[in-house]
Amino acid sequence: MTTHTAAVTIDETNFATEVLEKSHEVPVLADFWADWCSPCQMLLPILSDLAEEYQGQFILAKINADEQADLAHEYGVRSLPTLKLFRHGEVVEEIVGAQPEAVFRQLIDKHMSRTSDSLRPQALALSDGGEHGAAIELLENALNAEPDHAPLKADLLRVFISAGEYERAETLLHSLPANLEVDDEFKALKSQLEYAQQLNNAPDEDKLQANIAANPDDLESLYQLGLRQMQAGAHQTAMDNFLTLMRKDRQFGDDAGRKGMLAVFELLEPGDPLLGRYRSKLSSLLY
């Protein structure tokens, strides 16, 4: 890895090279601060110690917001301290206000380059091809080397669920630290596991379609069909079926149709146009 200075003072003349360009190699934590800002002064030794400890695995970029007002304005800094984490030329995380060291450590670790970065897509590709055992072995070996790396745990959970290894998935979920238990990604994976377990002995999609064609009021088959489609990534079709279930019977399965809709929402990317469209449909049905 390229050797970097642990911390660097940033102005308009070196922002592009020391923040944007360097962020393609390592995370760059831009600290917008000012002399008069007491919380900024409290953070200074915490951030400086982290920069020294990580020895160039991330860069601490110090930006005096008073002296570099144009940079502060360009990046929407409205209060101090504001910290923005740059990766691959873009802001990927933001923290406003003083926070404990653990918060910054978790933020940096999340975006650091790691040996396992090249293994994760390889493992998921193996799993997608049905080679779940090989994928699990690859991820578990990587996790033994990096036991605190959350993305590896998330990938292993995904593969466990795809492989039908539900007990192992539950064991991994129960071992998560408190901060990951409330993380949106892991909460979504927990929901996926719960729905996958409900489908453990359910008919396949063709059989469910046949059941509904024979009896449109077969709500159990309609619900299971939505779950099958959600599991297969057919998100729009799944949501259409969950909405149909809601129209037929809001009480079925303790409002299972609405819960299914919310589960699909968790799987969609924030900018997915389906989110806005189907949130509107759900709202119209509810209210």
225 catalytic, yes or no?
Answer: no
Catalytic residue among 6, 7, 10, 40: 40
CB 173 within 8 A of CB 157: yes
Which position has the token pair 């996790």? 143
Q: What is the dihedral of CA 250, 251, 255, 261, to 10 degrees?
A: -30
160 catalytic, yes or no?
Answer: no
Catalytic residue among 20, 34, 37, 274: 37
Omega before residue 81 within 30° of 0, cis? yes
Distance CA 111, CA 125 (A): 22
Distance CA 83, CA 103 (A): 12
- Identify the bridge partners of residue 51 per DSSP, sorted by sequence position: none
By CB neighbour count within 10 A (0-12 exposed, 13-18 middle, 19+ buried), where does 208 fall? buried
Query: What are 256's two structure tokens?
Result: 């299972």
Helices (H), the chain: 15, 38-54, 69-74, 101-111, 119-128, 132-145, 150-163, 166-174, 178-181, 184-198, 205-214, 219-232, 235-248, 256-267, 273-286
Please state at what angle helix 184-198 crosses helix 256-267, rounded to 10 degrees. 130
Distance CA 247, CA 272 (A): 24
Distance CA 10, CA 179 (A): 32
Which residues are designated catalytic? 37, 40
